[in-house]
Amino acid sequence: MNTARMNVESFNLDHRTVAAPYVRVADRKELPHGDVITKYDVRFTQPNVAHLEMKAIHSLEHLFAECSRNHSEAVIDFSPMGCQTGYYLILQGEPDVPGVLELIEATLTDVLDATEVPAANEVQCGWGENHSLDAAKQAARDFLQQRSEWEKVSA
């Protein structure tokens, strides 16, 4: 195992010590003109134990990306992790954690009310048929049911 400090913050995180679900600040960058962006690790499943299926990940990505912008103009991006255990939420500025948790909760509640996955077609998406609204809703429901655990990162 490589113990040298790595450039990518999450590669320096001991994934054996975290307890999903959780939300944590993963990185903060000050840009050359003074703007700040903050990246949050929104972890849905326990690393190396469970993962989200691709249709759930893809559909939740579309739903969250679209719905979150109804709640905040600070949203820059919501991207799935390659390991399929969660997402990175990138926001403009340095929003306080309670505000970020409220944004996530409100957005996932919107997901539960959705009747379709936005842009789930071959014109607007690179793999338009790789979606499942039901799977996205189940992932959102599971995450919301554990809302009281989101601020606790380690076991």
pLDDT in tens, 104-142: 999 999 999 999 999 999 999 999 999 999 999 999 999
Separation between Cα atoms, residue 37 and residue 87, nearest integer Å: 16
| The two three-digit tokens of residue 36, written as one number | 């700040």
User: Given 3-state DSSP classes, what are the helix, strand and coil percentages for the chain, each rounded to the nearest 5?
Assistant: 35, 20, 45
Residue 23: the pLDDT is 98
Report the SS3 class of residue 80. strand
| The two three-digit tokens of residue 59, written as one number | 């559909």
Q: Where are the domains of the chain?
A: 15-149
pLDDT below 70 — which residues of the chain?
1-2
Residue 1: the pLDDT is 64
Top CATH class, 15-149: alpha beta
